[in-house]
Amino acid sequence: MIIGGWQKFSLIDYPGKVSAVIFTQGCRFRCPFCHNPELVVPEKFTESVSIEEVLNFLNSRKNQLDGIVISGGEPTVHSDLPDFISQIKKLGFLVKIDTNGSCPDNLEYLIKHHLVDYVAMDIKSPLFKYKAHTNSNINEEHIKKSIEMVKNSGLDYEFRTTVVKEQLSPEDLFAIGQTLSGSKRYILQKFIPRKTLNEDFMKAETYTDEEFDDFCLKLKTLVEECFWR
Ligand code: SF4
């Protein structure tokens, strides 16, 4: 597994917990709005951080941190992710994973072996638009499988969508809500153009606060909890 970066302290990445965030390198998607191109495009990879250094740091913070967030890139593309998380678990931390759901079998392994306590899964678009939105050859059935697995995991979880106005219509958002029907939590994230994989997306826009309020009102008819941030 390759760690492309880390954040030693966060109050916002693991709901209700004080955490550290570890960013893995590598992802099979190429979302144009991705704000971490240095974790996605091999030519932009920065020097990696050693696993030993990270584990030593976490060992020294056992009493200050509640949980560790494994983010990316896409963590589940790494076959040695379970070993890495096992070592974190041995230190007594809760583990949250941020995933795009593209590797359902690897996600299933983590859930079945009690290696994750919280799953945050990105939903990029309605299923039929996935290939176009992720610029990848993803099998949409894999996304569907991951959604059902997360919903039935018994874990705390959230689904979330970064909303770029040009990419997702109000109808698209409702279609996503229908796919997530019965889920515990769905979060719409306003797209903020800080850094993007496709530079054209630095000019992209999102919806107004009032429009987001309206989307959430409608989506609440499909999921238990829906809010935007
Ligand atoms: S937004 Fe997430 S899934 Fe998309 S390219 Fe970036 S890291 Fe991969």
Chain segment 1-20, per-residue pLDDT in tens: 899 999 999 999 999 999 99
- Residue 73 CB–ligand 1 contact under 6 Å: yes
pLDDT for residue 29 = 98
Residue 33, domain extent: 3-163
Q: Is the pTM of this model over 0.95?
A: yes
pLDDT for residue 59 = 97
pLDDT for residue 24 = 98
Chain segment 20-38, per-residue pLDDT in tens: 999 999 999 999 999 999 9
Chain segment 38-68, per-residue pLDDT in tens: 999 999 999 999 999 999 999 999 999 999 9
- Residue 29 CB–ligand 1 contact under 6 Å: yes
Assess if residue 228 is contained within a domain: no
Chain segment 84-119, per-residue pLDDT in tens: 999 999 999 999 999 999 999 999 999 999 999 999
- Residue 40 CB–ligand 1 contact under 6 Å: yes
Write the residue with the smallest CA distance to atom 4 of ligand 1. Answer: 31
Residue 81 pLDDT grade (very low, low, confident, very high; cuts 50, 70, 90)? very high
Chain segment 151-166, per-residue pLDDT in tens: 999 999 999 999 999 9
In what side-by-side order are the strands of the sheet with 19-24?
A: 3-10, 19-24, 67-71, 94-99, 118-122, 156-163, 185-190, 225-228
Ligand 1: distance of its center to the CA of 170 in Å? 22
Assess if residue 208 is contained within a domain: no
Test site for ligand 1: of 21, 24, 25, 27, most ligand atoms within 8 A of the Cβ: 27
pLDDT for residue 145 = 98
- Residue 177 CB–ligand 1 contact under 6 Å: no
How many folded domains does the chain comprise?
1
Structure tokens at 216: 């959430």
Nearest partner of 207 among 185, 187, 179, 228, judged by Cα: 228
Give the atom of ligand 1 at the shortest distance from the alpha carbon of 39.
7
DSSP 77: G
Assess if residue 212 is contained within a domain: no
Assess if residue 148 is contained within a domain: yes
Assess if residue 170 is contained within a domain: no
3-state helix, strand, coil in the chain (%, to 5): 35, 20, 40
Chain segment 128-155, per-residue pLDDT in tens: 999 999 999 999 999 999 999 999 999 9
Q: Which residues pair with 189 in a beta bridge?
A: 162
| Residue 25 near residue 3 (C-beta atoms within 8 A) | yes
Distance set, CA 175 to CA 168, 200, 209 (Å):
10, 26, 20
| Residue 24 near residue 78 (C-beta atoms within 8 A) | yes
3-state secondary structure of 105: helix
> What CATH code is carried by the domain that includes residue 38?
3.20.20.70
Give the atom of ligand 1 at the shortest distance from the alpha carbon of 72.
7
Chain segment 176-205, per-residue pLDDT in tens: 999 999 999 999 999 999 999 999 999 999
Assess if residue 133 is contained within a domain: yes
Assess if residue 109 is contained within a domain: yes
DSSP 32: T
Backbone region of residue 197 per phi and psi (left: phi > 0; alpha: psi in -120 to 50; beta: other values): alpha
- Residue 100 CB–ligand 1 contact under 6 Å: yes
